[in-house]
A and B are shown apart, each in its own frame.
Chain A
Amino acid sequence: MTNTAILSKIAFILVLSWLSCFPVWAASSSAQSVVVYVSEDQVFAAPILQNFEKETGIRVKAVYDTEESKSTGVMNRLIAEKNNPQADVYWANEVVRAEVLKNKGISTAYISPNAAEIPAAFKDPEGYWTGFSARARVLLVKKGLKEKPGSISDYADPRWRARTVIANPVFGTTTDYMAALFLLWGNESAQTFMNRMKGNEVKISSSNGESADLVSSGEFDFSLVDSDDVVNRMKQGKAVEMVVPDQGKDGIGSLILPNAVVQIKNSPHPEQGRKLIDYLLSKETERKLAFAECAQIPLHPGVETPPEVPSLEKIKVMNVNYADIAKKMLEIQLFLKSWSGL
Chain B
Amino acid sequence: MSLRRSIFWLTAALLIGLGLSPLAEIFAQSLFVNGRLSLDLFSNMLSSSQTRHLLMTSLSLAGLVTFLSVMIGLPLSILLGKSDMPGRSWLITVFTLPLLIPPYVQAVAWFHLLGRQGLVARWVAGGDWKAGSNFLFSVGGCGWVMFTCYMPILMLLTIAFIRSVNPRLEEAALLTATWPRILSRITLPLILPGIILGALLIFLLDLGEFGVPLFLRINVFPVETFTQFSAYYDFGAAAAAAAPLALIALMAMFAEGLFLERKTVHVRIGPGDGPGIRIGLGKLGKWLAALMWFFAFAIVIMPLLALLSESAVIQAWRTAMTQGWDSVLRSMFFAAIAASLLSVLGFLTGYLIHVQGLGSWRLLDTLTILLFALPSTVIGIGMIGVWNHPFTNFVYASPIILILGYVIQYWVLPSRITLAALSRIPASMEEAAQVMGVSWIRRMAGIIVPLVRRDIIVAWLVCYIFCLRDTGISMLVYPPGTDPLTVRIFTLMANGEPAMIAALCVSLIILSLIPLGIIQWIGMRKGWA
- Residue positions of A touching B, CB distance < 8 A: 1, 3, 6-7, 10, 13-14, 17-18, 20-22, 24-25, 28-29, 35-37, 41-44, 46, 59-73, 75-77, 79-81, 83-84, 86-87, 100, 104, 170-171, 175, 206, 209, 217-219, 232, 293-294, 330, 333, 337, 341-342
User: When the two chains form the complex, which single residue of B385, B398, B494, B497 contacts A25, counting CB atoms closer than 8 Å?
Assistant: B398
Q: How far is the CB of B79 from chain A (nearest CB, A)?
A: 36
Q: Within the complex, what minimum Cβ distance (angstroms) separates A236 from chain B?
A: 12
Shortest Cβ distance from A210 into B: residue: B217
Contact A206 B403 (CB under 8 A): no
Are B494 and A43 neighbours in the complex by a CB distance under 8 Å? yes
**Across the interface, do B495 and A25 meet the contact criterion of CB distance under 8 Å?**
no
Q: Which residues of B contact A206 (CB under 8 A)?
A: 214-215, 217
Q: Chain A interface: which of B30-38, B227-235, B460-468?
A: B227-235
Known pairs A67-B494, A80-B384, A170-B231; A20 contacts B217 (CB<8 A)? no
Q: A10-B344, A24-B398 are in contact. Are A72 and B229 (CB under 8 A)?
A: yes
A190 to B479, CA, bound (A): 42
Main secondary structure of the interface of B (DSSP, over half): helix
Which chain B residue has the least Cβ–Cβ distance from A1?
Answer: B445
Q: How far is the CA of A7 from the CA of B481 in the complex (A)?
A: 35
The answer to whether B116 has its CB under 8 Å from any CB of chain A is: yes
Summarize A's interface: helix, strand, loop or mixed. mixed
B481 near A76 (CB under 8 angstroms)? no
Q: In the bound complex, what is the Cα–Cα distance between A81 and B340 (angstroms)?
A: 29
Stretch at the interface among B64-72, B148-156, B192-200, B387-395: B387-395
Q: Which of B330, B389, B476 contacts A84, CB < 8 Å?
A: B389
Taking CB atoms, residues of chain A closer than 8 Å to B384 are: 77, 80-81
List chain A residues, Cβ under 8 A from B214. 68, 206
Residues of B within 8 A of A341 (CB): 219
- Do the beta carbons of A21 and B117 come within 8 Å of each other? no
CB neighbours (8 Å) of B232 from chain A are: 330, 333
B302-310, B365-373, B485-493: which lies at the interface: B485-493
Give the shortest distance, in Å, between A221 (CB) and chain B (any CB).
16
Partner of B475, one of A59, A69, A219: A69
A42 and B399 in contact, given A6-B445, A87-B480 (Cβ under 8 angstroms): no
Residues of B within 8 A of A7 (CB): 441
Query: Shortest 5 CB-CB distances between A and B: which pairs?
Result: A25-B398, A61-B481, A61-B480, A66-B490, A64-B491
Neighbouring A residues of B492 by C-beta, 8 Å: 42-43
Q: Contact at A86–B445, with CB atoms within 8 Å? A: no
**Would you call B51 an interface residue if the criterion is a C-beta within 8 Å of the partner chain's C-beta atoms?**
no
CA distance A220 to B466 in the complex (A): 41
Pairwise interchain contact A86-B388, C-beta atoms closer than 8 A: yes
A60 to B385, CA, bound (A): 25
Answer yes or no: B134 CB below 8 A from chain A CBs.
Answer: no
- A86 and B397 contact, Cβ closer than 8 Å, known pairs A66-B490, A170-B227: yes
Chain B, residues 110-140, CB within 8 Å of chain A (1/0): the string is: 0000001100000000001000000000000
Q: Is B495 a contact of A43 with CB atoms below 8 Å?
A: yes
